[in-house]
Amino acid sequence: MPGIRSSYTDSVNFFGQSAPRALVEEFGTPLYVYSEKILRERCRELVSMCKTRGFTVNYSAKANTNPALLSIIREEGLTVDAMSPGELHMDLLAGFDKSNIFYISNNISPAEMKNAIAHDLLVSVDSLSQLDLYGRLNPGGKVMVRFNPGIGAGHSKKVITAGKETKFGVCPEDTDKVAEILARHKLTLAGATQHIGSLFMQPDGYVAAADFLLNFVENLPESLRANLEVIDFGGGFGIPYHKYENEARLDLNELGARLDELFAAFIAKTGYTGRFLVEPGRYVVAECGLLLGSVEAVKNNGPRRYVGTDLGFNVLVRPAMYDSFHDVEIYGEGEERPEMVQTLVGNICESGDILAKERTWPEIHEDDIVGVLDAGAYGFAMSSSYNTRCLPAEVLIPLEGKPRLIRRRQTLDDLTATLV
């Protein structure tokens, strides 16, 4: 199928032996499409970024929990986290061993905490009250504590996860209270964790936060530091969403080299022999995913041209929630088309149902197919049945062979299956 605007996916051979029109004819739209090739490439880039013994890439499963993708991530040597019983269920389905699953909790119930404990997982808590709850439920156990470094970063205020204006982590000045709770329940501090935010494209903020955490751990009382197995610096690794503007990538070589320097100095001072974790989600899966949609209507409202698709914010909510940017490709027939300003919208009855506002593209026609790039992270994972619409299907483009359905499209019967 000709690409009216498709130079990026052409350059990376995203669709392999298939093509957008063939995928749509076989599987329909909306359709999430994933490239195994790109997923494995991103995993390998991350695994090789640091040379320090004990360096581990821990995939943040909230970005995308499809077990077919999780299985590939496991094969590439990453560990994984879980933030809910559902994520844990998906991790186990994908074949992860409990020793390679970290439970990252946030304001969870006693029942959920008991579930994580019953699976013999190393659990991270991010408040004094949750630490006390963990101690009451699992006295004598091992636990990780998330600390707030006071340094936040992110593409939106809604994704900054450190600093005084966020809900996350224990304040460093409360370390004495942490020690008291640990002692009361005979708990062992097995890990110290943090997370500063999402989508950083320069290493400086992440390295500064890592330096803070290492200094903080170094200055912990020996009784707390002696049994540490994990130091987790969190994720937030950004990807270049502006593909057609040749946005620069995050320099993993520079980031890795700077982290290695910090790790070496810390090991020399403390004799630490445990793991150093980074916790990317977006960097692992965003670029391997693309969302295909059908153009159902085109119209002008005054001077504005609207392109109506079946990609409502029930399918991809990031632009509506975060004002996030996604590049868009156009797959259609015909000769060269004139460029014009157009706004891509969905089929949800909300004025905020906008995927891309006032972009200059070749003229889009009804019956064209559009492809929303970099949709593999926080795409399907954040989709919903709003307006009582069915969840989309997901397809994997394997290294060899035909595209494979890895999640069928939801049906109307699925929508009513839980009614009583």
Which phi-psi region, left, alpha or beta, contains residue 418 (left: φ > 0; alpha: ψ -120 to 50)? alpha
User: What's the mean pLDDT in 90-105?
Assistant: 97
Answer yes or no: do 360 and 273 share one domain: no
CATH number at residue 332: 2.40.37.10
In-domain check, residue 39: no
- Catalytic positions are 349
Position 158 pLDDT exceeds 60: no
User: What's the mean pLDDT in 97-109?
Assistant: 95
User: What's the mean pLDDT in 279-285?
Assistant: 97
Q: Which of 284, 175, 184, 262 is nearest to 225 (CA)?
A: 175
In-domain check, residue 139: yes
Answer yes or no: do 121 and 265 share one domain: yes
Answer yes or no: do 246 and 383 share one domain: no
| Sign of torsion over alpha carbons 150, 168, 313, 402 | positive
CA 376 to CA 321: how far, in whole Å?
16
What's residue 198's pLDDT? 78
User: What's the mean pLDDT in 369-379?
Assistant: 98
Confidence of residue 126 (pLDDT cuts 50, 70, 90): very high
In-domain check, residue 155: yes
Q: How many CB atoms lie within 10 A of CB 296?
A: 14
**Bond preceding residue 30 cis, omega within 30 of 0:** yes
What's residue 386's pLDDT? 98
CB neighbours of 26 closer than 8 A, spacing ≥ 6?
Answer: 403
If one counts the domains in the chain, the total is 2
Answer yes or no: do 306 and 231 share one domain: no
- Percent of the chain scored above 70 by pLDDT? 95
CA 327 to CA 244: how far, in whole Å?
7
Answer yes or no: do 117 and 193 share one domain: yes
Report strand pairing: 393-397 vs 404-407. antiparallel
∠ CA 62-66-68, rounded to 5° = 135
Higher pLDDT, 349 or 151: 349
Q: Say what the alpha-carbon torsion angle 68, 285, 165, 86 is, to the nearest 10 degrees.
A: 0
Parent domain of 94: 48-282
Residue that is written with structure tokens 């059908």 in the block: 294
Answer yes or no: do 268 and 302 share one domain: no
Q: Final residue of a domain: which of 282, 307, 327?
A: 282
Least confident range from 48-62, 154-168, 231-245: namely: 154-168
Higher pLDDT, 258 or 3: 258
CB hemisphere CA count around 372 (13 angstroms): 35
In-domain check, residue 371: yes
Least confident range from 147-156, 186-195, 219-228, 234-243: namely: 147-156
CA 401 to CA 409: how far, in whole Å?
22
Q: Which of 226, 146, 142, 125 is nearest to 190 (CA)?
A: 142
CA 40 to CA 37: how far, in whole Å?
5
User: What's the mean pLDDT in 227-256?
Assistant: 97
Answer yes or no: do 273 and 204 share one domain: yes
Answer yes or no: do 8 and 77 share one domain: no
Residue 222 is which amino acid?
Answer: E
How much is the mean pLDDT over the chain?
Answer: 94
Confidence of residue 164 (pLDDT cuts 50, 70, 90): low
Q: Which of 337, 340, 336, 370 is nearest to 355 (CA)?
A: 370
Confidence of residue 3 (pLDDT cuts 50, 70, 90): confident
Q: Which of 345, 352, 305 is nearest to 328 (CA)?
A: 345
Answer yes or no: do 328 and 211 share one domain: no
Answer yes or no: do 405 and 302 share one domain: yes
In-domain check, residue 81: yes
Higher pLDDT, 263 or 335: 263
CATH number at residue 200: 3.20.20.10
What's residue 152's pLDDT? 47
What's residue 159's pLDDT? 43
User: What's the mean pLDDT in 356-364?
Assistant: 97
What's residue 338's pLDDT? 95
Q: How many CB atoms lie within 10 A of CB 388?
A: 9
In-domain check, residue 40: no
Coil, strand or helix at 287 = coil
- Structure tokens that stand for 116 in this block: 């994580």
**From the centroid of its chain, how far is CA 224?**
31
User: What's the mean pLDDT in 283-301?
Assistant: 98
User: What's the mean pLDDT in 146-164?
Assistant: 57
In-domain check, residue 121: yes
Position 215 pLDDT exceeds 70: yes
Position 270 pLDDT exceeds 50: yes
Q: Final residue of a domain: which of 256, 282, 308?
A: 282
CA 315 to CA 378: how far, in whole Å?
10
- 58 forms beta bridges with 79
CA 172 to CA 337: how far, in whole Å?
59
What's residue 169's pLDDT? 86
CB neighbours of 120 closer than 8 A, spacing ≥ 6?
Answer: 98
What's residue 15's pLDDT? 97
Confidence of residue 14 (pLDDT cuts 50, 70, 90): very high
What's residue 160's pLDDT? 45
User: What's the mean pLDDT in 286-302?
Assistant: 97
Answer yes or no: do 271 and 296 share one domain: no
Question: Residues 303-355: pLDDT tens digits?
Answer: 999 999 999 999 999 999 999 999 999 999 887 899 999 999 999 999 999 99
Q: Which of 279, 276, 277, 253 is nearest to 265 (CA)?
A: 276
Residue 172 is which amino acid?
Answer: P
Answer yes or no: do 258 and 390 share one domain: no
What's residue 161's pLDDT? 43
**The whole model's pTM is what?**
0.94
CA 274 to CA 230: how far, in whole Å?
6
Buried b (16+ CB within 10 A) or exposed e, 298-317: beeeeeebebbbbbbbbbbb
In-domain check, residue 42: no
Within 93-152, strands assigned E span: 101-104, 122-125, 142-146
Q: Final residue of a domain: which of 282, 317, 332?
A: 282
Position 19 pLDDT exceeds 90: yes
